[in-house]
């Protein structure tokens, strides 16, 4: 039997170069297209990650260093339900505050081990002045051993990450460092700033008008990257977009107040639970809405 006859026996057609095997039903052309699509998807994912990192560097990390002192002065009172979560930990428990800011939650409880981390060197300086244990790191790569802490919190942090993949990675890092049965708490800004006909504290601070502004999708846009134009949100109003730039006005005692634009991804109802649901070794044990934030408590299983 010649080579050509052998090829015919295996069902591989030379004439149209389809190279299809009758037993497997798999074609090289289909395999090639699948591989090509996979490579294209990986390339697009890498491009998105690069853009997201650029947005976070320019519109989160850099800005928090610039506004750190003013920001710290406005962040002095612990949110009651976060304080309640910390109070529920047993004596001797270990707690990591991821994105600890000025360390206000590290001031609670003298009978547990507390450590914080943040991406802002200036805010960490505030923690050091308060003699709190805190170190510099990114929430996407926390230098803490696997399965080593009793609890961790991430309060108003994950909504600053500019892609779903990066937000998922942040939750995975929280899960990784938790010991079995350890618990995590996440707070993210909600797109809906009203619940049960009651405005959030964010909306109630709108002193210019007690009336709701007309809803319109028209907004100033800032092109952070040519592939990612972002709308600038009007402060103290309902959110109209999910990915936005929110102004922070830095008052210097003169008329020359400087405005900084911080990136936010505001969460839809159910989105935080869906994100946590993609992490295999945790389960959400409680989710709730708290003053304009979606919140989730999860347990490592």
Q: For 175-224, what is each residue's pLDDT tens digit? A: 999 999 999 999 999 999 998 888 998 999 876 544 444 444 445 777 67
- 15-45 tens-digit pLDDT: 333 333 434 454 556 566 776 677 666 777 7
User: What band does 296 get if pLDDT is binned at 50, 70 and 90?
Assistant: very high
* Average pLDDT of the residues in 51-70: 96
- 162-182 tens-digit pLDDT: 999 999 999 999 999 999 999
**Token pair 């900084």 in the structure block, residue:** 260
pLDDT of 287 > 80? The answer is yes
**What pLDDT, on the 0 to 100 scale, is given for residue 23?**
42
- What are the angstrom distances between the C-alpha of 172 and each of 37, 158, 281, 287? 27, 12, 9, 18
Strands 282-290 and 293-300: antiparallel
- Rounded CA-CA distance 9/202 in Å is 73
- Rounded CA-CA distance 119/113 in Å is 21
Residues 6 or more apart whose CB falls under 8 angstroms from that of 148 comprise: 94, 177, 179
Averaged confidence pLDDT in the chain = 86
Choose which CATH entry (1.20.810.10, 3.40.50.150, 3.30.565.10, 3.90.1420.10) describes domain 48-190+267-300: 3.40.50.150
Where would I find the H helices in the chain? 3-9, 28-56, 62-73, 80-87, 121-129, 164-177, 201-204, 271-277
Domain ranges of the chain: 48-190+267-300
Rg for the chain, CA atoms, rounded: 25
**What does pTM read for this prediction?**
0.82
């Amino acid at each position: 039997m010649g080579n050509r006859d052998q090829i015919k026996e295996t069902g591989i057609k030379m004439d149209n170069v389809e190279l299809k095997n009758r037993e497997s039903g798999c074609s090289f052309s289909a395999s090639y297209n699948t591989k090509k699509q996979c490579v294209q998807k990986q390339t697009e994912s890498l491009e998105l990650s690069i853009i997201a990192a650029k947005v976070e560097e320019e519109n989160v990390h850099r800005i928090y260093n610039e506004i750190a002192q003013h920001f710290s002065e406005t962040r002095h009172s612990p949110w009651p339900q976060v304080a309640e979560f910390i109070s529920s930990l047993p004596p001797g428990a270990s707690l990591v505050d991821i994105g600890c800011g000025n360390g206000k939650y590290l001031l609670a409880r003298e009978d547990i081990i507390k450590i914080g981390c943040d991406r802002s060197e200036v805010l960490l300086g505030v923690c050091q002045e308060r003699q709190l244990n805190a170190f510099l790191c990114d929430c996407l790569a926390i230098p803490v051993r696997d399965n080593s802490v009793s609890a961790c919190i991430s309060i108003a942090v994950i909504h600053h990450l500019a892609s779903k993949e990066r937000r998922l990675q942040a939750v995975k890092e929280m899960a990784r460092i938790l010991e079995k049965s350890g618990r995590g708490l996440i707070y993210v800004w909600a797109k809906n700033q009203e619940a049960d006909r009651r405005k959030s504290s964010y909306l109630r601070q709108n002193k210019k008008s007690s009336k709701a502004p007309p809803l319109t999708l028209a907004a100033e846009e800032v092109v952070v990257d040519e592939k990612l134009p972002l709308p600038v949100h009007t402060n103290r109003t309902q959110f109209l977009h999910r990915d936005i730039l929110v102004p922070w006005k830095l008052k210097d005692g003169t008329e020359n107040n400087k405005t900084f634009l911080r990136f936010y991804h505001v969460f839809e109802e159910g989105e935080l639970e869906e994100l946590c649901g993609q992490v295999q070794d945790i389960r959400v044990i409680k989710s709730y809405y708290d003053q304009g934030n979606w919140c989730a408590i999860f347990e490592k299983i």
